[in-house]
Amino acid sequence: MEYTKFMADRVKTMKGSAIREMFKRMADPEIISLAGGNPASELFPGDELSKIAGKILMTNPTLALQYGTTDGYPKMKDCARKRAEKVNSVGENDEILIMTGANQGIDLTAKAVLNKGDKVIVESPSFIGSLNAFRTYEAELVGVTVEADGMNMDELEETLKNTDGVKMIYTIPTFQNPTGCTMSLEKRKRMLEIASKYDVLILEDNPYGDLRFAGEDVPTIKSLDTEDRVVYAGSFSKILSPGMRLGYIVAPAPLAEKIEMLKQVNDVHTPMITQLMCVEFMKKYDIDKYIAKNRELYGKKCAAMVSAMEKYFPQGKVKWVVPEGGIFLWCECPTIEDITPIVDKCLEKKVAIVPGSNFATDIYAPSNMFRLNYSSATIENIEEGVRRLGEVLTEML
Amino acid sequence: MEYTKFMADRVKTMKGSAIREMFKRMADPEIISLAGGNPASELFPGDELSKIAGKILMTNPTLALQYGTTDGYPKMKDCARKRAEKVNSVGENDEILIMTGANQGIDLTAKAVLNKGDKVIVESPSFIGSLNAFRTYEAELVGVTVEADGMNMDELEETLKNTDGVKMIYTIPTFQNPTGCTMSLEKRKRMLEIASKYDVLILEDNPYGDLRFAGEDVPTIKSLDTEDRVVYAGSFSKILSPGMRLGYIVAPAPLAEKIEMLKQVNDVHTPMITQLMCVEFMKKYDIDKYIAKNRELYGKKCAAMVSAMEKYFPQGKVKWVVPEGGIFLWCECPTIEDITPIVDKCLEKKVAIVPGSNFATDIYAPSNMFRLNYSSATIENIEEGVRRLGEVLTEML
């Protein structure tokens, strides 16, 4: 049978994530992956969550195993609220919705907002999962350059001035994926002014905000928002466990109501046991202490990566900005046009990195950039991986 | 701020499920609910799952807490395959995808198939969650009457002959929600012939198929499909736990590939701990024995409901078909036009039922039908609930 005629336009030309394709090639256990976005698993609180899950299912099986409500288990909503309030990101007109990962919140916010042909301004480069979510609603992506201190605001204003049909700006202002860059306070304020002037929504995605290991915290855009213009997506993936798929959305009530209806027809509700585990973990343990351990580890791993890069990369041929938190480091090779042959050669040498084209609004345009991750591998593997990468770069640049 | 202008057309007129609204009114603990679709919680294997979850998190925290793959944990895919193969519903060109509840599979199948304005043929009445999912892709729903032995096939053929742009037939052939009716083998074969003649897909939703307590099993439509025309949605919600949100899709590879990409941008993957719990439960215990216990209980509860209906309902004023499985019983009141005043009066008398309009393609048209659920309440409460309902019906019919 021929299935193309049954396919919706939105999926006909859709390409799977090239990162996932690369993961398939990475089954080889000798490959050191600097490619993924996995948080460090060595700190996962398995023992604590084991006791917690065991006890919940033993003492309250009905709550843990029966249907729950779409907006989230009330105490889990309180946990999400606490995290969001810690960064002053819950306005009085906002509702909180628990999501099966923040990605679901971004997907369903896009579904609630975007008609075919509507435009979304995104950082260029940006997180492929969100860009692909927007693409599935047949929205047009308009990229605005990310600089070391965040999105270029003049370019943003110019773009809004010259572009009709923009409904939303999507931003990861803190420790951005893939660049690791953080938007300055000034730029955050300016973004709110521009969004107000051109009357567009802001979707602020903040999965890495808790992972600062250097410098000073910058307020979230949501915390500076006086017009209820910002939808805020938070996540437990990088501060507790990504495999539990727990995130949340803070959104003005009229939008939250629609997003909740879309969740109702999507997965009905987020699994109860993962919500209950998170609630109990936050009740019994100080999650900020746990996060602090992660931050410390990521700081060390980042430093190890940067020092290996300084040692093994060909001098003056690769540019990067040292991140102050998060899990990614972004590199540019100004002397070449296309990083693809280097990425392929790296796989031969058993080290995996992600080519920059994956994060672009135009995934077919060549890119001379690549993303490195330092949260997942051990320090030893980071050093060896960067050494292998340095060999390839020295040979090919 | 005014949000309507930021909303996508798909959500502007979207109404939340009236069932959920009713649930909010049901906070009163004295209300006996015959309204929901919850499976019996008294049989949930809490002790078994408690030990399983505790052990997994203790011995393999990385697997349980780290990111997983979008298509599902391989051993969980094997579990889903076993359930689907038990009813001969995996073709050689099919792929299996684990879903965060079967509802997600239906939502994402619709997203992969439906453009705005495309038509979906649905049973009239049908499951509100699926109808609302189709509505969010701006598809048009075309209803075909459900009879005691399933969809009216002449009407289906007539509808397809006279309707352009139909891409898919959505059916719950076994113990249908809301009618409890099961499609005969003959009609299943005829549906495949008609679907082939008019070249449309079939989406077969089978969450209740394992719950037969009377009569003989009927083969799934998928098992009779020789053209790879059927997408099959299976669920663990009614045979293990709905709160775990575990379901699956069996779909021809070209469609499965697109659905997987849509899941990637939706929740990335189904939580690992729930998948691992299901895998271990099916490894350590005979899930069919557990299902058999549920079937027996539902048979008893259904019999209790029917016998109470015979005792308390006004004679000759309410028509129903006794189901052979599943969790729902459907009633018609031929002497009236609109059941709404009765439903409201029932709430006053502290018993909740769902008006038929919820399950219609046109939710604004009056309905003289209502749905009862017998899986959730205790036998005592079923009898008392039906007694209260009988009082209202006797008074108002």
Q: Mean pLDDT, to the nearest integer, of B323-333?
A: 97
Q: Do A58 and B65 touch (CB under 8 A)?
A: no
Q: Do B129 and A268 touch (CB under 8 A)?
A: yes
Q: Kindly list the residues from chain A whose CB atom is less than 8 angstroms away from the CB atom of residue B63.
A: 243
Residue B88: count of CB within 10 angstroms of its CB: 13
Q: Kindly list the residues from chain A whose CB atom is less than 8 angstroms away from the CB atom of residue B114.
A: 8
The whole-number pLDDT of residue A283 equals 98
Q: Mean pLDDT, to the nearest integer, of B260-266?
A: 96
pLDDT, tens only, B269-318: 999 999 999 999 999 999 999 999 999 999 999 999 999 999 999 999 99
pLDDT, tens only, A1-53: 899 999 999 998 887 666 666 666 677 889 999 998 999 999 999 999 999 99
Q: Mean pLDDT, to the nearest integer, of A163-192?
A: 98
Interface test with B, best of A4, A19, A48, A66 (most B CBs within 10 A): A66
Size of interface A-B (CB pairs under 8 A): 274
**What is the bridge-based pairing of β-strands A201-205 and A166-171?**
parallel
The whole-number pLDDT of residue A28 equals 81
**What domains can be seen in chain A, in order of their start residue?**
4-44+289-396 (3.90.1150.10), 67-284 (3.40.640.10)
From the number of C-beta atoms within 10 Å of its C-beta (0-12, 13-18, 19+), residue B181 rates as buried
Nearest neighbour of B244 by CB, restricted to A17, A51, A65: A65
The answer to whether A38 faces chain B, any CB pair under 8 Å, is yes
CB B220 within 8 A of CB B203: no
Four-point Cα dihedral A186, A189, A190, A192, nearest 10:
160
From the number of C-beta atoms within 10 Å of its C-beta (0-12, 13-18, 19+), residue A300 rates as middle
- Would the pLDDT of A188 be above 90? yes
For chain A, give me the number of helices (H) and strands (E)?
15, 14
Q: Kindly list the residues from chain A whose CB atom is less than 8 angstroms away from the CB atom of residue B53.
A: 50, 53-54, 57, 273
Minimal C-alpha gap between B45 and chain A (Å): 8
Q: Do A261 and B11 touch (CB under 8 A)?
A: yes
Residue A394: count of CB within 10 angstroms of its CB: 13
State how far the Cα of A396 lies from the Cα of A342, in Å rounded to an integer: 7
- Would the pLDDT of B16 be above 90? no
Residue in chain A lying closest to B41 (CA):
A62
Give residues with Cβ within 8 angstroms of A52, minimum separation 6: A277, A280, A281, A284
Amino acid in position B233: A
Give residues with Cβ within 8 angstroms of B380, minimum separation 6: none
The whole-number pLDDT of residue A18 equals 65
Query: Would you place residue A63 in the very low, low, confident or very high pLDDT band (cuts 50, 70, 90)?
Result: very high
The whole-number pLDDT of residue A19 equals 65
Residue in chain A lying closest to B63 (CA):
A243
- Report the percentage of chain A scoring pLDDT > 90: 94
Q: Mean pLDDT, to the nearest integer, of A271-300?
A: 97
Q: Do B49 and A57 touch (CB under 8 A)?
A: yes
Please report the ipTM that was assigned to this predicted complex.
Answer: 0.97
Q: Mean pLDDT, to the nearest integer, of A337-356?
A: 95
H/E segment holding residue B328: strand B328-332
The answer to whether B117 faces chain A, any CB pair under 8 Å, is no
pLDDT, tens only, B106-149: 999 999 999 999 999 999 999 999 999 999 999 999 999 999 99
Q: φ and ψ at B264, to 5 degrees?
A: -55, -40
Q: Do A243 and B66 touch (CB under 8 A)?
A: yes
The whole-number pLDDT of residue A13 equals 81
Q: Do B50 and A61 touch (CB under 8 A)?
A: yes
CB A187 within 8 A of CB A220: no
CB B191 within 8 A of CB B151: yes
Give residues with Cβ within 8 angstroms of B352, minimum separation 6: B22, B25, B26, B31, B32, B33, B34, B35, B346
pLDDT, tens only, A358-370: 999 988 899 999 9
The whole-number pLDDT of residue B251 equals 98
The answer to whether A229 faces chain B, any CB pair under 8 Å, is yes
- Would the pLDDT of B22 be above 90? no
Query: Would you place residue B15 in the very low, low, confident or very high pLDDT band (cuts 50, 70, 90)?
Result: confident
- Would the pLDDT of B215 be above 90? yes
B 132-161 residues inside an 8 A Cβ radius of A: 132-133, 136-137
Residue in chain B lying closest to A47 (CA):
B58
Residue in chain A lying closest to B167 (CA):
A6
pLDDT, tens only, B179-201: 999 999 999 999 999 999 999 99
Q: Kindly list the residues from chain A whose CB atom is less than 8 angstroms away from the CB atom of residue B129.
A: 264-265, 268
Query: Would you place residue B167 in the very low, low, confident or very high pLDDT band (cuts 50, 70, 90)?
Result: very high
- Would the pLDDT of A343 be above 80? yes
State how far the Cα of A77 lies from the Cα of B90, in Å rounded to an integer: 39
Closest CA to B299 of B243, B179, B215, B174: B215
State how far the Cα of B325 lies from the Cα of B298, in Å rounded to an integer: 8
The whole-number pLDDT of residue B24 equals 67
- Would the pLDDT of A119 be above 70? yes
The answer to whether A43 faces chain B, any CB pair under 8 Å, is no
